[in-house]
Structure 1
Amino acid sequence: FKQEQYPQARQALASLLEDGRNGKYDENAQYLIARSYFSQNQFEEAVRAYQQFIQRFPESGMLPRVYYEIGDAFYNAHRYKQAMDWYRQVIEKFPDDPLVGEAISGLQWAALQQGQVEEAFRIADEYIQAHPDARLSQELLFRRGDFYFGRQQFDQALKAYQTFLERYPGSLLAPKALYWIGLSQLSLGDTSAALNTLQRVARDYPNSAVVADAVFQQAVVLSEKGQPEAARPLLRRLLESESSGRSDPAFLSEVYLRLGQVEVQSGHSSAARSAFQSAISKQPDGFASYQARIELSRLAGREGDLTTALQLLRKVIADRSDQLAAEAQYTLGELYAQSNKLEEAVAAFLRVKYVYSAYPQWVARALYQAGRVYERLSKPAEARKLYREVIDKYPTEPISRQARERLKTL
């Protein structure tokens, strides 16, 4: 069984059950037969084997798990109504079992799969009303905010997190709820309220693990509002391990990246370069480190060091295939254009369209910039063609407006 040789395992387990001695391992044998079918995605066979377990061992202490896994089997077979029936039985028959929380989650997900959002919340509300002081009740109410936030329904998420905080102000989840209230406000465009809320996280819950994230988000907001001098001390505070509470490389790499961007805003190229290099050294293969390479390439380009800039960008392009690679390819075109290598610039920009079509924001910007380079090459017909492509294929991208203006000029 441990070696995932399930047919052979079932044969041996069946022999154990058939020896007629009702041994002490019979319950485990029957359970493992069912579980082996489940592990092979043979959900109908798994359900039959689990039901045989219930018939054979009606007093077993394993029944809560068996009922729950029958629900899981139906869920994975996309038979959500049946899944809900078995999850409900876990809650009704075994109300004190630790699996009740998982059963409620299963009920909610099965309801959501059927488009029954209100039913999913009603299920949670019933449990919360019956067990208002239970830890699970707190988790269920908190998850409602997570559900709405994940669906980008930020106004609903905000209300859900606020309701949680009002109902459970002393919960261990309270600092996290306050943090997500801040992110919801930020997503709704209320930056002033978001800053106040994020500051409250650090002030009201100084020992919480979420403080570092709240401080970082404050720095991000201030930086994006054009206040690098206010953002810098927050980021430096995070880099002091004794006060940050976060020492994982991915987080520190992200902090150094943002610090570098803040230094660029302030015109401090040397400090920015140092911060970007630290972002890379903290986690060389992390997302932030590749973004830092792109930022370093821009610094190198502004200083006339095209060779270094191109090396940094080619590293990103070689290692990644996501939006960072698209941005790196776009930046390659920018650097060629800045260096008056116009044919190379056009080729680099057009490559974004052909290789990174999954990232329309970069494709639209690259096509526009290729059009600008064609103008510099005195090829207005080619430029017009690209501007029209931006307007026709990417009308919702911000760069589309500039493409219209250039087309009128030509």
Structure 2
Amino acid sequence: MKRSLLLLLILIFFNYNIFSQVSPEKFSKAMDAYNSGLYAETYRLFEEFFTDYEIKDEMYATAKFYSADALLNLGDEDAAAAGFEFLVNNFRSSNFRDRAFYKLGIIYFDTKQFSRARARFEKLLYEYPNSEHAGTALYWIGESYSAEDRLSDAINYLEEAVAKHKNNKYEDYSIYTLATVYEKTGDYENAVKYYDQLLSFHKDSPLAVSAQIRIGVCYFKLKDYHSSILELKSPLLSDLPGELYSESLYILANSYYRVQEYEDAKKTYLEILESFPSSDFSRNAMYGLAWTYFQQGKYNDAYKTFHSLSDGDDSIAVKSFYWKAEAKRYAGQEDEAFRIYAQFVEKYPGSELVKGVQYQMGVVYYSNRQLDQAERFLKDALTSADETIRSKGFTLLGEIELSRKQFSSAKNSFEAALNIGGISHELKMRALLGYGASLYYLGNNEEATEKLKEIERENEHFEPNKVNFYLAENYYAMGDFQDAIRRYNNINLSETEIGSQALYGKAYSYFNLKDYDNAAYSFNEFINSFPRDKRIVDASLRLADSYYGSKDYSAASKVYRDLFNAGGGEIENPYAYYQYAQALYKAGNTNEALNEFSNLQKKFPQSDYADESLFTLGWINFQQNDFGKAISAYKNVLNVYPQSLLAPIVYYSIGDSYFNLGKYDSAIVSYQVVMAEYPASNYVFDAVNGIQYSYAAKGDYVKAISFIDQFVSSNPSLSFSDQIFFKKGEIFYSARNYEAAKTSYQEFIASYPNSKLVAEAYYWIGKSAQNLSQNEEAIFNFNKVFESYPGSESAAAAVIEIGNIYNAMFNYDAAINIYDAALEKLSQSSRIAEITYMKGTTLINKKDYAAAYNVFDEVIQYFGKTIFADKSKFELGLIELARENYINADLYFKTLAETHSDELGAEAQYYYGYSLFEQEKTDEAIAALERVRVVFSAYDEWLTKSYLKLGDCYTKLDQIDKAKEMYRVVIGKHRGNVYGQEAQNKLRELQ
């Protein structure tokens, strides 16, 4: 400063020498006054100077600057601004011009003329970028934007001000303001970053302690409460002025509260109240203290604190009034809570909390099961602007309606709750559960299931027992009993509300799946776990039915008997008696069963089971081959109940009884009654079969055919007349009258061209022609089935028959062609494995062993679980045996012999022995062939061949007596046939 003044004096003397009329004394005196802080004197002297000094040079500009600055120091900002404006506008080369711009910016900022302030600061930055005031100007521009809440612009300038810290004497303020701007934008991470920067590089700044408080606040806003606590626990903060320190304590206490460190929160709130009772934060601190007591379960302390705050009209007083009622409610003093709620509504009728109070009053009534009053208050609460209150109100209202079985209203209430955008996650789950339950009771099972699954997707831990229960019930209602069981199994059966229902539903699910063992176990568990349940009799009946279904008739009859002995109206029903009698019979207690069936009819003569019980008496006699008694019992059914719906089966059963007595004419009469009087019944077909067998037993097929013709003629409109007509062909075919069978089936096709039996008719025409050695006609009809009816069950059978005919005619290529066509056209047929296998055997007949090998291998690969896969393995064994690949052959034969007890096993066992014989493993061959005698003795062909091969084995071992013994066994069983002749020849060779 002294150096500047020296330069200034030199300039003044220079000017004095030029302009001798101007005295430098006034300028010098003005500067002395300025430096002495005599700003009024400074201004007066400079004004005199301006009067005398008319040259607008640097000295004049200098005088203007100090004159304006003196006015500024006197507090006359407008006059000072005019002076500085004169300087910057008229002295562009002045050394004081950048300082004047800076001063103008400060004046305009202080007078909140932010736009003009920025204009002067920006002019300074543009024209004097290297000015000592450049960095500070950036800071003030940022401050001005911050003051106008133009936060993005503020950030840009403040960040630049921080970067140009060398020319910024307010670097710490720039950092602090930048942090506060970020805090205003909600970018608390960057706010913390710059507050930390201030503490790191400007520890001695007067803003440091404030920055530390703000860091704590920012961490609080970021919900990083532990970091907030760490910042605000600093002992340095205790030296702050009271208001700042109380603020830091308030944020610290709130942080403790948020991390549920309630004891520390309480101590900190109390510190504010005791040390800073007049602080702006003391009332908020008391409110926080009340909440801390509330969260600690100290509801009486919470009530007292809320009560002390409720004697006012500010928002804290209103909220405290509300929460002191809540404190009473949580303390279990619901009457007192209700009284305070009522006072609140009366005192603050316009408060936004009134709707919340009405909701809570509804909750109190609901908890006391006073549902009408609860509903009234909840409906009042539904007009609240608070989304949480509305969503809670709709949800609780839905639960009330659900408990009243008002399912449609409940659905609407839960749906209204779910449609509220601000609904909490917990409440959404409750509403979804209620919504799903309502849909279930309304029968909307698929939608209910989807809503309940939504709960699982969003929160698998929410009410899992109830969610699984309603899912199980929905699956049960939709008939998906397996999924129902899976859900019932997820439920804790000790759950009071739904445990018994879940076990009961699971038992019924098993029952409906006919899984009677598990059903019995579950019903038994229900009876033992819930002996006082109102459904105990029904569960006992179903337990008996389950034992019956699992064929444990003794257990079933015991349960029925126990129920009858216990008595009670629920068990007095004909179904239970009928099942009891059935169980007795199936448990082997026939006489008891007969008595109970007879008693049932007497006890419940008008029930649906009365005629059935009499019929069952006849059926039991029939099963015991006492056909005379059976006939009497059957006739008694119609004597007692002439209009019984069982009449068709009664007449049919009488017919069967006469048939078994050999009284075919009487049997035919009874069968004819079924057909004549009950043509629409399900027993007509059986009656036709009965007549057919009766005439067959008498050897009189003509009458059987005649009767069918009469029946069809008399009942032309019956939906199953075609099936009756079709029987004619079957009768002729079974009598081996193949020409008549052909004619009958042809007549059938002509009479019923649209019948589903047409394909089968063509097939049997083919079979009849085949039996008559009319191969061309047979092939034609079989091919008709294959080409015209590929979707019928007869199509594959027709292809197999064509193949058999071609094989018999040695036309192997034609057989292979039809097989190939079928493999393409009938790819979905259940007999496709058999057709492929037949192709392989045809290739064997053709002696194309390589191609046959590939086909058999294909059967094994693609149809591994069918019998034709094992047959293919046998054929591969024969091919390997022919090739003398004994290892492979033995593997096939031995595996089949060990896994089959049928003829295929016998054949494989024989060839295994044969293969060993060919390999000269004679002892092993004997053991293998002996196994045919031990395991497969029922299959004479392979037993006989084994005896013959055993004879060969013993001959090779020179055990001639044993060899002769084997051959004599064959001769004894097969004298006169090829096996006997072969054995005779071998025996002669040994003589």
Same topology, TM > 0.5 = yes
1:31 equivalent in alignment to 2:615? no
Q: Quick one: distance in 2 between partners of 1:105 and 1:267? A: 46
Structure 1 counterpart of 2:670, which letter? Answer: W
Using CA pairs under 8 Å that are at least 6 residues apart, name the structure with larger relative contact order, 1 or 2. Answer: 1
SS in 1 for 2:749: coil
Structure 2 counterpart of 1:128, which letter? Answer: D
Aligned partner of 1:367 in structure 2 is: 947
Structure 2 counterpart of 1:215, which letter? Answer: V
Q: Using the TM superposition, give the Cα deviation of residue 327 of structure 1 relative to its aligned residue in structure 2, in angstroms.
A: 0.8
Structure 1 counterpart of 2:741, which letter? Answer: Y
> Is residue 611–residue 637 contact of structure 2 (8 Å, CA) maintained in 1?
yes
Structure 2 counterpart of 1:228, which letter? Answer: Y
Aligned partner of 1:67 in structure 2 is: 651
Q: Using the TM superposition, give the Cα deviation of residue 162 of structure 1 relative to its aligned residue in structure 2, in angstroms.
A: 1.2
1:131 equivalent in alignment to 2:745? no
> Is residue 13–residue 33 contact of structure 1 (8 Å, CA) maintained in 2?
yes
Q: Quick one: distance in 2 between partners of 1:122 and 1:312? A: 55
For the pair shown, the structure with the greater C-alpha radius of gyration is: 2
| Aligned match for 1:165, one of 715, 720, 745 | 745
SS in 2 for 1:5: helix
Q: Using the TM superposition, give the Cα deviation of residue 328 of structure 1 relative to its aligned residue in structure 2, in angstroms.
A: 1.1
> Is residue 253–residue 279 contact of structure 1 (8 Å, CA) maintained in 2?
yes
Aligned partner of 2:45 in structure 1 is: none
> Is residue 175–residue 208 contact of structure 1 (8 Å, CA) maintained in 2?
yes
Q: Which moved more, 1:341-350 or 1:383-392?
A: 383-392
Aligned partner of 2:764 in structure 1 is: 180
1:202 equivalent in alignment to 2:786? yes
Aligned partner of 2:237 in structure 1 is: none
| Aligned match for 1:328, one of 899, 908, 917 | 908
> Is residue 651–residue 670 contact of structure 2 (8 Å, CA) maintained in 1?
yes
> Is residue 390–residue 403 contact of structure 1 (8 Å, CA) maintained in 2?
yes
SS in 2 for 1:169: helix
Aligned partner of 2:321 in structure 1 is: none
Task: Map 1:358-397 to 2 at 5 A.
Answer: 358-377=938-957, 383=963, 385-395=965-975, 397=977
1:52 equivalent in alignment to 2:636? yes
> Is residue 212–residue 245 contact of structure 1 (8 Å, CA) maintained in 2?
no
> Is residue 161–residue 177 contact of structure 1 (8 Å, CA) maintained in 2?
no
Deviation string 1:345-365 (CA, Å, 9 cap, x unpaired) is 244334434543332222333
Q: Quick one: distance in 1 between partners of 2:770 and 2:913? A: 33
Q: Quick one: distance in 2 between partners of 1:358 and 1:280? A: 28
Q: Using the TM superposition, give the Cα deviation of residue 407 of structure 1 relative to its aligned residue in structure 2, in angstroms.
A: 5.1
> Is residue 738–residue 771 contact of structure 2 (8 Å, CA) maintained in 1?
no
Task: Name the CA shift for 1:93/1:392 in 2 (closer, same or farther; >3 Å).
Answer: same
Task: Map 1:96-245 to 2 at 5 A.
Answer: 97-112=681-696, 115-118=697-700, 121-129=702-710, 131-132=712-713, 134-148=721-735, 156-170=736-750, 171=752, 172=755, 173-187=757-771, 194-202=778-786, 208-240=792-824, 243-244=825-826
Structure 2 counterpart of 1:327, which letter? Answer: E
Q: Using the TM superposition, give the Cα deviation of residue 196 of structure 1 relative to its aligned residue in structure 2, in angstroms.
A: 4.7
Q: Quick one: distance in 2 between partners of 1:396 and 1:193? A: 38
Aligned partner of 2:425 in structure 1 is: none
Q: Quick one: distance in 1 between partners of 2:942 and 2:730? A: 34
1:5 equivalent in alignment to 2:583? yes
Task: Name the CA shift for 1:399/1:213 in 2 (closer, same or farther; >3 Å).
Answer: same
Aligned partner of 2:428 in structure 1 is: none
1:299 equivalent in alignment to 2:299? no
Structure 2 counterpart of 1:135, which letter? Answer: D
> Is residue 668–residue 691 contact of structure 2 (8 Å, CA) maintained in 1?
yes
1:345 equivalent in alignment to 2:928? no
SS in 2 for 1:239: helix
Q: Quick one: distance in 2 between partners of 1:14 and 1:354? A: 52
Aligned length: 393
| Aligned match for 1:275, one of 855, 858, 861 | 855
Task: Name the CA shift for 1:237/1:180 in 2 (closer, same or farther; >3 Å).
Answer: same
Q: Quick one: distance in 2 between partners of 1:357 and 1:144? A: 37
> Is residue 13–residue 30 contact of structure 1 (8 Å, CA) maintained in 2?
no
Deviation string 1:88-145 (CA, Å, 9 cap, x unpaired) is 3334444554533322322333454xx3121x54134223145346324422202214
Deviation string 1:305-358 (CA, Å, 9 cap, x unpaired) is 434433332332233322212211211122112222123224433443454333
Q: Quick one: distance in 1 between partners of 2:882 and 2:711? A: 64
Task: Name the CA shift for 1:397/1:253 in 2 (closer, same or farther; >3 Å).
Answer: farther
Deviation string 1:33-87 (CA, Å, 9 cap, x unpaired) is 4236525725666544433331233234442232223333454677656544432
SS in 2 for 1:349: helix
Q: Quick one: distance in 1 between partners of 2:885 and 2:803? A: 30
Q: Quick one: distance in 2 between partners of 1:314 and 1:84? A: 54
Structure 1 counterpart of 2:925, which letter? Answer: A
Aligned partner of 1:151 in structure 2 is: none
> Is residue 729–residue 742 contact of structure 2 (8 Å, CA) maintained in 1?
no
Q: Quick one: distance in 1 between partners of 2:749 and 2:976? A: 42
SS in 2 for 1:340: coil
> Is residue 611–residue 644 contact of structure 2 (8 Å, CA) maintained in 1?
no
Task: Name the CA shift for 1:92/1:306 in 2 (closer, same or farther; >3 Å).
Answer: same
Deviation string 1:212-241 (CA, Å, 9 cap, x unpaired) is 21112222333454443332232222222x
Structure 2 counterpart of 1:104, which letter? Answer: V
> Is residue 374–residue 380 contact of structure 1 (8 Å, CA) maintained in 2?
yes
Deviation string 1:241-271 (CA, Å, 9 cap, x unpaired) is xx117521xx222223222323444555554
Q: Quick one: distance in 1 between partners of 2:952 and 2:738? A: 43
Structure 2 counterpart of 1:322, which letter? Answer: D
Task: Name the CA shift for 1:380/1:319 in 2 (closer, same or farther; >3 Å).
Answer: same
SS in 2 for 1:131: helix
> Is residue 356–residue 363 contact of structure 1 (8 Å, CA) maintained in 2?
yes
Task: Name the CA shift for 1:246/1:182 in 2 (closer, same or farther; >3 Å).
Answer: farther
Structure 1 counterpart of 2:832, which letter? Answer: L
> Is residue 141–residue 160 contact of structure 1 (8 Å, CA) maintained in 2?
no
The TM-score with structure 1 as length reference comes to 0.78
Deviation string 1:170-196 (CA, Å, 9 cap, x unpaired) is 344444344234334545666566445
Q: Quick one: distance in 2 between partners of 1:121 and 1:384? A: 56
Q: Which moved more, 1:352-361 or 1:70-79?
A: 70-79
> Is residue 881–residue 915 contact of structure 2 (8 Å, CA) maintained in 1?
yes
Aligned partner of 2:867 in structure 1 is: 287
Aligned partner of 1:153 in structure 2 is: none
Aligned partner of 2:346 in structure 1 is: none
Aligned partner of 2:890 in structure 1 is: 310
The TM-score with structure 2 as length reference comes to 0.35
1:261 equivalent in alignment to 2:845? no
SS in 1 for 2:901: coil
Structure 1 counterpart of 2:892, which letter? Answer: L
Task: Name the CA shift for 1:95/1:196 in 2 (closer, same or farther; >3 Å).
Answer: closer
Structure 2 counterpart of 1:138, which letter? Answer: F
Q: Which moved more, 1:319-328 or 1:207-216?
A: 207-216
Q: Quick one: distance in 1 between partners of 2:699 and 2:808? A: 36
> Is residue 30–residue 49 contact of structure 1 (8 Å, CA) maintained in 2?
no
Task: Name the CA shift for 1:229/1:395 in 2 (closer, same or farther; >3 Å).
Answer: farther
Task: Name the CA shift for 1:197/1:337 in 2 (closer, same or farther; >3 Å).
Answer: farther
SS in 2 for 1:59: coil
Structure 1 counterpart of 2:826, which letter? Answer: S
RMSD value over aligned CA atoms? 3.8
Q: Quick one: distance in 1 between partners of 2:593 and 2:961? A: 71
> Is residue 826–residue 832 contact of structure 2 (8 Å, CA) maintained in 1?
no
Q: Quick one: distance in 1 between partners of 2:648 and 2:828? A: 38
